[in-house]
Amino acid sequence: MPSDIDFRELLINLDDEMSIEERKRFVFLLGDDIPRRKRDEPLVDIFTILIDRGRISRMNCNYLVEILTRMKLTALAYQVARFETKNSPSISLPPELENSQPISNADISSAATDDNRRTNAPTLEEFWNDINASDAMIISDYEQNTPIDTKPVIVKPESPIIPLSLEDIDLKVFENDSWSDEFLQKINVNIHPYEYQRELVQSAIQAGNTIICLRTGGGKTFVAALLLKYYSIKKMTLSNENGTKFLAFFIVPRRAMLKQQLEKLKQIGNLRIIACDENNDVTRYINNYDVLVCTPQKFLNGLKAKTILLSDIDLLCFDECHDTVVRNQYVGIMQYLMCQKIAHIPPVSSSPIIIGLTAVIGLHRSSSSQITHHLAVLCATFNCFTITTVMKKENEIELEQYVSRTSEDEIICINKQKAFDSLRLSIESELKNLILQLFLNKDTNPLRIFPEKDFDMNGYEQNLEILKQSEQKNQHFSSVILINYILAIYRHLRALTDLTPELVLSDLKDYFEMIYKSREHPIDIDTLIYEKCQNLFKKKLTEIEESGQVLSNPKLDKLVELLKKHAEKSNNRALALVERTFYAKKICEFLQNHSELKPCWLVSQSGVDSKKSNKKEDSILNDFRTGVYNVMISTDVVQAGLDIPECSLVLRYDFVPDSIGTVQARVRARTVGCAYYLITTKDSQNYMKELDNRQCEQDLKEVLETWKGISSDLFKEQVMKKQTSLITEWNESLTKTLITETTMLKNIELIGDVLCRACGYLLGKLSQVRQHGQSYFISDHDFYNRIEEKVSSEPQEYLKTLVTGKALCGSKNCRTELGCIQVLKDYQKISPIYPLKCESIKIKLIEKETGKEQIILKKKWKKMPFTIPLLEIPCTQNNDDIFYDAFDILPSD
């Protein structure tokens, strides 16, 4: 709790922040609280008088906040109000607001809601661990809100596999010799590899486990495909048993890359290959396919469930093995291979071959010893002792000639325009003021919650998310509504530097209207915030319209200029990469005003405002390839999975990801005379980040040159030493985790409730939650009566399910989307079910012995600290009591 000295320091800061004129007005508003003879004294003396008279204190700053608010010094009033909150006891909701809280079905709750004290706010580390501990860290899934059996990526029937004549294939030629056309025909490879690719394949075969380093565009996936073919032929040739089967997994870090890598691997022929998306179980394909392409978490889930055994696998290939974002998942897989002393890890009788693929090591300006250490750690992690790269000089020359280079590769820095910047700063100021006023106003913020960080500090948005999670745990619906509005304003405010004020404000206005009108009976605070925001948005939009000024963003103007020039050739295609879904949609709308451009937009399905289905995404991609559209605006996550040979221009719109994304984006431009541009401003972080990222390709060369100069025996010694250290560290960590999980599972009995995360509305008993495939839902007759169904006019049909609409929160004050309505075609009697999105619910877990309540918020169901029972489906389907059938409409409905 802040001390009296902190309070006096705050007052000194106020004195420093106020101008001479503002100080005069401040004293004037104080009126008779300050004796006339003292009104010309310094402001610190004025504060002393207010303290002595009891008008302000460390515990009560209301008077000071009121004066500053009347002076329209919102930022200063906000500082004081936030300080006061730190000193004040927690505030309970007024009775009229408590009555409007939508936990109206509490009579069937297991226990009464706890008091309103904010004592369980998560720490920063806890929050981000929870957010990032998803089933696929960078794999943005849409989890329970999708069917459990979406169509696999291969939707057409597989062509029959033509068997190879194994007795005619000489493996020694594969391993050591040059490959003639006759040999390639024997192994049914229709694409003639380059010599540098043959060198990599043969070097990798000699090495066994290895990491293949090859720059982006060099054909790493094709090299991996050749290795898959080699090891499959070798197993079939050497095996004397009938029914011998080859099994390999090709693991990609991003779900968006599944289809791209699948198509590349299929070019090699003779192997049955399938991609397993996030909604299918890997094990359903193991017996019928040779190579499975999947995400690391999908594979790791199979290892944990023991439905996949490493002893049954011949080869594991890790794509982008350097990727630090999924490194935890890659490490998790390798622990099952290398930590054999842990009780729950099955023994591995025969280890698979490990192949790592990478184009970016990520060692910028590192010394030789740092490079050696980093490579040793990488090799130790993947249980290999060597790096495979192009060593022969003639093959290095061939590689340089083969990898396509953009004819134009430029960072375009846009100069600031005074008129636009003046308008932008004005609107930014008003939106910032709006946020501060919403926090300051006791009618919109009755619980007096404030984020710890200041508005202009890094991490402010993250801080708001932490505050929101705390209020969700405490079931403070009014505060959750407030923070949701503020988050939307803040995110749009940041977009003013990239879009036009009109685009940003109109989208905010439309978005707020959609959200507000989705609630049948909004609570008073909701209405108050909505009206206050809409009044400002409409006012600013009217001012812009009446001013007659057409002030476009200079960055947008440059984007249009480049795209128009590029569109002069009728067969050209351009890809514009943006940071957010919102940007993709709005820029697409903006470009539609230019007749020369035929834009479309494509983003990941996981985007909060993306409604495109896989079928629609495939249709858009096909139309882009065939020229129906000549411009595609896409998010960066999606571009990693795009392979469009027709693309001749790639534009990054003031957005620079990591070095991997930069390199990958540049090679998306494939045609002759292609170009790559980054549109940004010279003083931006993106400018400096792009310069660093462009250094990565050169860094890879330097890393590999350093590697070539290291003694193989010395390097192997370093790897073995590091591997011993890693295994010891992993064993200790796994042992602790196992003890913790075992203790938790023993002690946890599923007593408690499932609640709407936003408003706390009771959805059902925790003991009634069941799992079926990838779906988690409440198996209860009465669940249908606790939600609102929003039936879709166009149901989405899948192999075994039918998605007929959305399930919304049953509270008329809330109506948050909880999940979907799903009909199981094979189990009509127990349909529909209502799979719940984990991020839309919270669990109130009650300890059996003490009755102590714990609110649990997770992003993924699999991260819950307990096991959800599987749905038991009876052999006969005559039992009508399992679920309430939503098609049997009650008379009252």
- The CATH number for 382's domain is 3.40.50.300
Q: 421 in a domain, yes or no?
A: no
**pLDDT tens profile 401-442:** 877 666 677 889 988 888 888 888 999 999 999 999 999 999
Q: 370 in a domain, yes or no?
A: yes
Q: 220 in a domain, yes or no?
A: yes
Residues 762 and 617 reside in one and the same domain: no
- What tokens appear for 24 in the block? 């005069």
**pLDDT tens profile 623-676:** 888 889 999 998 876 665 566 777 888 888 988 876 666 666 666 666 666 888
Residue 327 is predicted with a pLDDT of 65
**pLDDT tens profile 435-470:** 999 999 999 999 999 998 888 888 899 899 999 999
Exposed/middle/buried for residue 410 (C-beta within 10 Å: 0-12, 13-18, 19+): exposed
Residue 94 or residue 492, greater confidence: 492
- The CATH number for 761's domain is 2.170.150.30
pLDDT confidence bin for 685, thresholds 50/70/90: confident
Q: 422 in a domain, yes or no?
A: no
Residues 216 and 344 reside in one and the same domain: yes
- The separation between the first and the last C-alpha atoms of the chain, rounded to the nearest angstrom, is 54
Residue with tokens 């009591």: 881
SS (H, E, C) 529-561: HHHHHHHHHHHHHHHHHHHCCCCCCHHHHHHHH
Last residue of a domain, one of 67, 87, 107: 87
The candidate with the shortest Cα–Cα distance to 249, out of 317, 345, 337, is 317
SS (H, E, C) 320-375: CCCCCCCHHHHHHHHHHHHCCCCCCCCCCCCCCEEEEEECCCCCCCCCHHHHHHHH
Which residue blocks in 548-613 are alpha helix, DSSP H?
A: 554-566, 581-591
Query: Could you check whether the bond before residue 522 is cis, i.e. omega within 30 degrees of 0?
Result: no
**pLDDT tens profile 730-746:** 988 888 777 766 655 55
Residues 281 and 312 reside in one and the same domain: yes
| Pair 855, 842: CB distance under 8 Å | yes
Residues 560 and 582 reside in one and the same domain: yes
Residues 183 and 81 reside in one and the same domain: no
Residues 753 and 790 reside in one and the same domain: yes
Q: Which residue range is the domain that position 558 belongs to?
A: 553-698
Q: What is the mean pLDDT of residues 832-855?
A: 90
Residues 781 and 645 reside in one and the same domain: no
Residues 130 and 172 reside in one and the same domain: no
Q: What is the mean pLDDT of residues 182-188?
A: 90
- The CATH number for 45's domain is 1.10.533
For residue 264, pLDDT over 70 is answered with yes
pLDDT confidence bin for 719, thresholds 50/70/90: very high
For residue 143, pLDDT over 50 is answered with no
Mean pLDDT of the chain: 81
Domain count, the chain: 5
DSSP, residue by residue, 223-276: HHHHHHHHHHHHHHHH--STT----EEEE-S-GGGHHHHHHHHHTT-SS-EEE-
Q: What's the CA gap between 297 and 279, in Å, rounded?
A: 12
Q: What is the mean pLDDT of residues 218-234?
A: 93
From residue 787, give the alpha-carbon distance in Å to each of 266, 517, 756, 761, 763. Answer: 45, 17, 10, 10, 8
**pLDDT tens profile 5-34:** 889 999 999 999 999 999 999 999 999 999
Residues 387 and 474 reside in one and the same domain: no
Residues 303 and 340 reside in one and the same domain: yes
Query: Strand 315-318 relative to strand 248-251: parallel, antiparallel, unpaired?
Result: parallel
| Pair 808, 817: CB distance under 8 Å | yes
Q: What is the mean pLDDT of residues 144-161?
A: 42
pLDDT confidence bin for 49, thresholds 50/70/90: very high
Q: What's the CA gap between 463 and 469, in Å, rounded?
A: 10
Residues 674 and 755 reside in one and the same domain: no
Lowest mean pLDDT among 40-44, 75-79, 212-216, 257-261: 257-261
Residue 663 is predicted with a pLDDT of 64
Residue 404 is predicted with a pLDDT of 62
| Pair 563, 576: CB distance under 8 Å | yes
**pLDDT tens profile 554-586:** 999 999 999 999 988 878 889 898 888 888 889
Residues 51 and 175 reside in one and the same domain: no
Q: How far is CA 116 from the centre of its chain?
A: 31
**pLDDT tens profile 373-386:** 888 888 999 999 99
Q: What's the CA gap between 199 and 203, in Å, rounded?
A: 6
Residue with tokens 């010395």: 714
Q: What's the CA gap between 523 and 382, in Å, rounded?
A: 55
Q: 242 in a domain, yes or no?
A: yes
Helix orientation angle between 581-591 and 554-566, rounded to the nearest 10 degrees: 60
Residue 769 is predicted with a pLDDT of 92
pLDDT confidence bin for 139, thresholds 50/70/90: very low
Dihedral sign for Cα 60, 61, 62, 67, please: positive
